[in-house]
Structures are given as structure tokens and as C-alpha cells.
Structure 1
């Protein structure tokens, strides 16, 4: 029978605990480390909602990269954005959409009424059409509608706010969960350790001035993470010489935190890690990694290392945005080609490809690509009644 790592009571009713948060695309979890009461506690206001708040600060990145939870739940819509005076939102995958429909009534000198309706999607446009019919009767006609492909051609400000007490607690919790996951899965063998200090900090809201956690781009991690990798990583190490148990949490392969979860360690040296891809329900555990000397001043004297860590965070976010941009370009090009092929060969499936097909296909792909590349709006007539 295992004891809960947070309150030391025996785990009677098993409760799954994610090692890395599910909403970050991770499926790594354990039912051997936490009791149901403590697991429920971390979902209450009393705990500060540290898990949720840790995930929420990466909402923009999750939305751009369309990172689903391990249960397939989509990332949140990013609201409260504005473009050229109109409210917009960011949909999963980096797609912007206007939040509200607009209906503009215009009258000419003879009293004829005309409406300009704009809507973020076809369903919203139909709703506006029904409003017009209710106002002027169902015989109101002469409806000319277009589906407009509109490209954002001016910057939209997306903000991230990373840090705070909830963030530092969440980082320590990930490492605390991970080291016990390794121990109870027999990947490492921990000696008897007094965990009361971190239990007070995480579970009972004591020692709120904890200074052993923070953003860290100075200490190197014990593994070479590829530049294009967006996986989540957790590394944990014990150093007898430094009398520390410390670790690193790397979110999306680039956003780096470190924490000391025990500062009186006297056991054998160890170092382990895990890589959790954001798009696969499996993990890669590294049972042995090279121990590295850990510079604890990086997180304890945050002001001294502030500039280096801010620059590191800036570089990391730029790398993630570049990965997103490259991916978005490839996906849009694929969509252009698929859409063009569907239109050109519609109704001609199985027919021989003629020179006329090729000419029409190349013209369609080139036209759509130029419109997309140079942000040229395009309009296609549609029949709202159908």
C-alpha cells in the first residue's frame, strides 16, 4: 500500500495524477502517488488552482499549435483581441475570426433599403438574414452574398504573462510528482527523505516566500533538445555533494523552469528525465543522465540573473513562433493544393488527366497562392437560401 506524497495517509481509493499537465498535451500519469482528497484539493480555490493557472498562461501557444489534452479536448479560444477596430478571437490552429456579426442598414434617395451583413461564419450570416426577414417580411429578396477570404495584414498583439506564485508552485509540484512516479515505478530507488518542507509549501500553503523555483535559462539541462522539438520534458537529479534534489521543467521544448525540491539531500547521486510528445500518448524515460552542477543562485538571486532569463525566454518564444509559422505555411499550401484539385476534378473522378486539367489546376493553385501570400482578399458568390 502506497502513502500519499502530500499528506502521508495510505492511498485507499486510487486517484490518477498527471505528472505533466494534460492540457499541455501530456498523458503521463500515476495512481500510486496521491490520495483522492489531496487530488481534489488541488482543484479548489484554497489551493490557488495552481494546475489550471500554470496551463492558462500558455493559452496563446496552445491555441496557435492546436494542442489538445490527452482526452482530445481542444485548447481555449483566445478572446479580447482587436483588429482594425473590430473584436476578433484566435481559434485553435492560429485562425482568427471576427467575434460578432454586423448588420448595416442603408437607404437610397428613393427609400429603397439595402443591408450590408458581415459575419464570422455562414451560420452567423444566416442568423442575420433571419433578423432581416423578421423586420421586412419573408419576401424581402435581392440578396447578394459573398464568401470573402480575408487575410490579416496588420499585426495583432498577443500577450503572455508567465510567472507568479501559482506558476512556481506548479513547477515544484511537477518535479515532486515526477520523482515519486520514478520511485514507485522502480525506475529509481529513493532513500528515506523528509518531504515535510515541500508538503507544507504545496499542500498546506506554508513557506509562501519559497525562493527555490523560477525561470531558468542559465543552468543547462542534461539532454540535447532538438530545435524543432515541441515536446514537454521533466528532468530530476539528486546531488550528494550539493545536498540538493533539483530539476528542470521544459514546456513545449523551449520554455524553461527549474526548482530545488529538497536542500538537505544525503543519498546517492541520480539523474533521470522524461520526454512527453504533445501529439502522442507515450513517453520516453531517460533512466540515467549525466549529473551536472546546479547553480542555485539563478533562482535564488533572480534579480542578478533577470536579464539573462528574460533574453532566454524571448528567444524561446521566438523559436516556438517560428515553428508555428513554418507549420502554418505548410498546412496552408496543402489546403490550397487540395482545394484546387477538388474543384478542378469535381465530377471527373477516374477520368484521364488532360492538358486542360493541368492548365486549370496550375492556374487555380497559382491564383490562390498569390492571394494568400500577398494578402489579397477574394470573394466567391454564395446562395444563403441554400
Structure 2
């Protein structure tokens, strides 16, 4: 696609490149094709968007987002457990970073394989690799496998939320949403050159045009979710202002001044997306009354308010994870102890279920390490898989 309009950040014509309104790596899906060319898209994606998304990986990982491209939340890899070994953090579930496979040649020439894995699926993959490794060299005569769960001491994370690169990415998201709500030529005529330079080259304006904001009361939006992203853009020709508000994971808030000489249409729009389900909508909202030109000159980062918002985020997250853990224990216990379809449930089944569930609950409550034997026959590939 070709157009006479130029990229916001260089002299190249627009070429149809899609820019996410909220970063795809944070769960955003909506795109604009009226902002920048493909070279600038790639450059700014590498230069400012990726570092900002990476700085928020703890949030993405713990919430369990689905990216805009349908991928799961990133796994935090090779974290120091404080116990002399590294762990991976997949969602709220710590996993030993490396599984263990040991082989031994028996007196009869057969090979014994011992596997310690984080789950049955990983054990199956490791056994398949050993079968391939010893194909034609010897027969695997014995397999032992166990699933190992290890609880870790309380882990601590330090958060560095993007710095100047992050604020440039925030400003770009606000500008992208403006591009969706007005004609491309109006954006190019009305948006401040300072904010364009800040996004493109990091040239900081004399005053903080974009910054954290824990003072502004963000407008209400329908169907609130605990970890939602919300992006607002407001344009007022009467005041000549365009400004944006951004809330990430329901906890991190930013505001930004995009224009001071706006003569385009009035806009009061919000884009809301749940990064877990990717369900999203746009809405018309009432702009905050307290924001004017002077607001951006006096707004300051408030560490006390920011800390309270983060504490509320992790408290809500902890409650959600405890409920999820309980549901998983109930489901796992039910599948392991109750009879199959069509069979009669007896009092003995119910008593076994109660004992098993109580044991799982105690293990979780007191964070007891556990080793669960795996049935080797369930790990062996089927005849059909062997033929592949």
C-alpha cells in the first residue's frame, strides 16, 4: 500500500506498517497503519518498545498474559533461587531450571534410565530423547521416573520500569491511539514536534511531557478487570490540548501531553483490553476535569502512592493465584482418585479423594518439597509414534 502521507518520525512515505496501540508483548492487539513506516517501526520496536516490555516481564509473567500474537506470557529464566541452583518462573510456578537424566549400563548389557522432571510431559520428552540416543546401541531395560516439586524461599524482584526508553514507548502508544481516532493529516498538523522528537530520538522536552502519574483520577470504564490495560486520548480544540492517559496491569499509570495547539476534532476515547483473555473494547468517556496545561508542569512521581498501587496489585494477584492453586489441586485429586466414566462412586472413592486432597493442601500450605513417581508405561511412545 502506498500513500502521500509521510511517517511521523522520518521523511519516508507510509507503507502500511502496523503499529500496536498497546504493545503486543503486553497483550495488545489493536493496530494503526497511519503512524510510521516499516523501518521506523522496526527501529523503535527494538530501541524503546522491547526494553519497556522486558522491564514489565514480572507483571506479564505473574498475570499470565496472552500476547497480541497469541503467545503465552514470557518465562523468567535462570533466576537465583538462593539455594544454590537456578529456577525458571513460568507464571506463578517456579521450576528447577534443568531436569536430570542419568543412565547406567546393567550387567546384562541393558540400560537403566532414571529421569527427574518437572512434570509428566517433560519426562516423556526426555525419555523419547534417550530412546533415540540408544537406538541400535543397546536396549533400555529399566526406566524409573519421578516428578519433583520444590518450594522456594520468598523470591524478591527489583523493578526498573523502563526509564526514559519506557516513557518514549508510552508516548508512542498514546500517539498511536490518537492516529486511530482522527485523520492522519490532522495528527501531523496538530501534534507537538517536541513529542515526536522525544519518541523518535529521545530529545527530552524542557518539561516532562510524559511521566508516571499517580495523582490523576482516571475515568471509569465498563466491566473493570483487575489487571486490565486502559489507554485514553482526549483532544479539546477549545483548550488546544491533546493528552493521553495509560494504565498498565491496573497498577502502573502514566499521563502525557501530546499537543498544545490542537484545532482538530474533540475526542474523548478509551481503549480497554484484558491482557489475559485479549477481550477488548473502545468507549467514549468523560475527560478528567483537573487536567490542563499547568497540570503537566506540576505533576510529580509520588513514591508513596506508587508503592500502595503496586502493593494492591500483588495482593490481588496473590488472592487470584491461591484460588487457582486450590482449583488445580481439586481437579488433580479428583482425576487421580475418582473412578472412570460409567463407574459407580463409592464411599471408599470419596474417602480416598478427601485424604488425597487434604495431603495436597498440606503440602501447598506448608510448602513441602515432594517427589511423585511416574508410571514408566505412560511415558513410552505409542507404536504409532514409534513409526514416525
Give the TM-score normalised by the residue count of structure 2. Answer: 0.78
Q: Secondary structure at the match of 1:379?
A: strand
Residues 3, 9 of structure 1: 8 Å contact kept: no
In structure 1, the partner of 2:49 is 51
Structure 2: how far apart are the matches of 1:280 and 1:73?
12
User: 1:110 — aligned with what?
Assistant: none
Aligned residues: 362
1:370 equivalent in structure 2: 362
1:42 is paired with a residue whose SS is: helix
C-alpha distance in 2, partners of 1:205/1:151?
43
Shift of 1:183: 0.9
**Offset at 1:180?**
1.4
> How far is the alpha carbon of 1:199 from its aligned partner?
2.4
Measure the CA separation in 2 of the matches of 1:87 and 1:316.
30
Q: Deviations over 1:130-171 (max 9, x none)?
A: 7xx99xx9799998754333323x211122111411111111
Residue 247 of structure 1 is matched in structure 2 by 244
Gaps of 5+ in 1: 105-114
Quote the Cα distance in structure 2 between the aligned partners of 1:8 and 1:382.
Answer: 59
Matched residue SS, 1:90:
strand
> Matched residues in 2 for 1:332 and 1:356: separation?
25
What aligned pairs does 1:199-210 form with structure 2 within 5 A after superposition? 199-207=196-204
State yes or no: 1:62 paired with 2:76.
no
Structure 1 match to 2:31: 29
1:326 aligned partner: 319
1:241-290 deviations in Å (ceiling 9; x for gaps): 65432111110122101111113335665422111221344532223423
Following the alignment from structure 1 to structure 2, what is the Cα–Cα distance between the partners of residues 121 and 354?
30
The reply to whether residue 344 of structure 1 matches residue 341 of structure 2 is: no
Per the alignment, residue 151 of structure 1 pairs with 151
- Corresponding residue for residue 316 of structure 1: 309
How far apart in 2 are the matches of 1:58 and 1:70? 15
Partner of 1:229: 226
Q: How big is each residue's C-alpha offset from its partner over 1:323-375, in whole Å with a ceiling of 9 and x where there is no partner?
A: 322222222222212222212235x3201222222222222222212221222
Query: CA deviation digits over 1:95-118, x for unaligned, max 9?
Result: 1112235799xxxxxxxxxx9986
Q: Secondary structure, in 3 states, of the residue corresponding to 1:366?
A: helix
Instruction: Give the corresponding residue for 2:176.
Output: 177
1:66-99 deviation per Cα after TM superposition (whole angstroms, max 9, x unaligned):
21212122222213422222211211x2111122
The whole-number CA distance in structure 2 between the counterparts of 1:194 and 1:142 is 71
Q: CA RMSD in A?
A: 3.8
In structure 2, relative to structure 1, the CA distance for the partners of 1:37 and 1:88 (3 Å cut) is closer
SS of 2:35's equivalent? Answer: coil
CA distance in 2, matches of 1:301, 1:14: 39
Moved more, 139-148 or 65-74: 139-148
Query: In structure 1, what is the Cα distance between the partners aligned to 2:30 and 2:84?
Result: 43
Residue 351 of structure 2 corresponds to 359
Q: How far apart, CA to CA, are the structure 1 residues paired with 2:114 and 2:295?
A: 58
Give TM-score, length-normalised by structure 1.
0.78
Give yes or no for contact 2:115–2:123 (8 Å, CA) kept in 1. no
Q: Secondary structure at the match of 1:33?
A: coil
In the TM superposition, residue 182 of structure 1 has moved relative to its aligned partner by 0.7
Distance, in Å, in 2 between the alignment partners of 1:144 and 1:267 is 71
* TM-superposed deviation, 1:210: 5.7
Residue number in structure 2 paired with 1:198: 195
The match for 1:111 is none
CA distance in 2, matches of 1:205, 1:144: 57
Partner of 1:167: 166
Shift of 1:3: 2.0
Contact between 1:273 and 1:289, CA under 8 Å: does it hold in 2? no
